Amino acid sequence: MATLRISLRPGERIFVNGAVLKVDRKTTLEFLNDVTFLLESHVMQADEATTPLRQLYFVIQMMIMDPNDSDAARQLFLSSRSLMLKTYRNRDIIDGLTEASELVERNRCFEALKRVRSLIPLEDESLGRTADAFPPPQSGRTELRLAAGGAR
């Protein structure tokens, strides 16, 4: 397995296997084995979960942040996803929900989170929303770090 290095800025938090870590200075973490993590810039607050897909994102996020107690969140994901598949007409959203569901079933929650996140702009468009309350990360640096191994 390849080593995964993540650089954090002062004051930045990272959620690792259910634990929250905050660094006080620029730090590089090196993961030598499989790990599930979520960077603070990808964490959605409960009050930002204002649409069905954002709520689904929030549920998957809870599975990542508390992996030892994710059964209730997993059940909520399954029931929410089923309702959404019956509601949405946009083929891209339906296909994305199906992919996200398959990822969750394979316990690849980080990839499912990214897939649902990619659907949020489509949902905003279908709802006639112009401003995204949960924008993508501002720096390419974060995206590169996540693409290198993200979770697990």
Indicate the DSSP class of residue 135.
Answer: P
Residue 110, by phi and psi: left (phi above 0), alpha (psi -120 to 50) or beta? alpha
Q: Between β-strands 27-31 and 4-8, what pairing exists: parallel, antiparallel or unpaired?
A: antiparallel
* Whether 88 contacts 97, CB under 8 Å: yes
Domain boundaries, the chain: 4-42+134-147, 46-126
Mean pLDDT confidence for 69-85: 90
Q: Between β-strands 19-22 and 4-8, what pairing exists: parallel, antiparallel or unpaired?
A: unpaired
* Whether 49 contacts 57, CB under 8 Å: yes
Per residue in 16-48, pLDDT tens? Answer: 888 899 999 999 999 998 888 888 888 999 999
pTM over 0.75: yes
User: What pLDDT score does 131 carry?
Assistant: 54
Q: Check pLDDT > 90 for residue 66.
A: no
Mean pLDDT confidence for 54-75: 90
Q: Check pLDDT > 70 for residue 92.
A: yes
